[in-house]
Chains A and B, each alone.
Chain A
Amino acid sequence: MMDDLIKLVRTYRLTAGLADRERLADAIFAEVEPAMRLFVEGKIRPQYSDDVLQEVLIAIIVSLPKFSGDDFMKWCRGVARHKIYDQYKDNLKTSERFEALPPEEITELIGLSVAATPLATGEGLDLDYAMKLLAESKPECVESLLRHYVDGLDYGEIAEEQSLNYDAARMKIGRCLETVRELVA
C-alpha cells in the first residue's frame, strides 16, 4: 500500500501534463486526505479542523517538489504539524487537544474495515486482545499508544509532540505496553 503511494508520488513529480497530474493527485489524495483528517482532527477543535485540513492539503501539493525519502505519510504529517502550529499561533481558540477515538468508534471502524476485507485466521482474537490493552491502559498511555499504532507516528514524532527526547518517547511507549500487557495477562 505504502509502496504504491510512493510510486504515485514519484510519478506525479515526473509528470508534466496537467490532466495526468490531476489523475495522479486524485489517487494520491484519496489515500492521504483521510489520514491527514484523522491526524488533524486529533489536534484541532472540530469547528476549525476542516479549514486547517485544506491548508495542509495545499501545503503538501506546493511542497511536493521538496519531498525526499521513503515515508511519504510521515513527511505529510510533518507538513501538517507545521500548519497546525501556525494555527495555534494565529488563533488561540483552535487550542491543542487530544481526543482519543472512543472504544465504540474504534469498534465501528474495525467493522467497516472487516466488511471490506474479512478477518484473517486468528486476527479476531488479536483485535479483541488489542482492544483489551487499550481499555486497561492509563489515559496518558492510551494517547501515546493510539498516536503510535493507529496514527502511525514514529517515536521521533511522538517525542516532538510531547516535548520529550527520542529515547524517552520510546521508553514511555514500551513501559505503557509492558504495564498493560501484565495487567491484561
Chain B
Amino acid sequence: MPRDTKQAEAALQKLGQRVRAGWAKKHPISERSRQTVRTTVREQWEIEQKAKRERIQSQKPPTKNKGKDKGRGQEPEV
C-alpha cells in the first residue's frame, strides 16, 4: 500500500535517529577531543576565577587612615 508524505517523513526521521545513534557508537568521542574539552574547560574556569579575584579586589573599600601603618617593619622613608 502506498504511503503518504507524513509516513515517508516519519520513516526518514526514524532512519535519521538510527544513523545518528549508530554514528555515535562507531565514533565515540576521541581521546584528542576529550583532552581538548578538558583543557578548555580548565582554562575557562581559571579565567573566571581570575576575573572574580580581580572584581573582589576592586570592590574592597579603601583603607581608612591610609598610610597609618606605613613603615611598620620596613625601612623608614627618608
Contact = CB atoms under 8 A, between A and B. Distances in A.
Contact of B27 (A34, A111, A133): A34
A106 interface: yes
A83 interface: no
A96 B30 CA distance: 24
A178 B11 contact: no
Contacts of A25: 37-38, 41
Interface string A96-122: 000001000010111111111100000
Interface stretch (A56-64, A86-94, A155-163): A56-64
Interface size class of B (residues with CB under 8 A): 35 or more
Interface of B: 2-5, 8-30, 32-34, 36-38, 40-42, 44-45
Interface of A: 18, 21-22, 25-26, 29-31, 33-35, 37-38, 50, 53-54, 57-58, 61-62, 101, 106, 108-117, 123, 126-127, 129-131, 133-134, 145, 149-150, 152, 174, 177-178, 180-181, 185
22 contacts: A18-B42, A26-B34, A29-B37, A33-B30, A34-B24, A35-B24, A37-B27, A57-B33, A108-B22, A111-B22, A112-B26, A113-B19, A123-B14, A126-B14, A129-B3, A130-B8, A131-B15, A133-B12, A134-B12, A149-B15, A152-B16, A178-B5
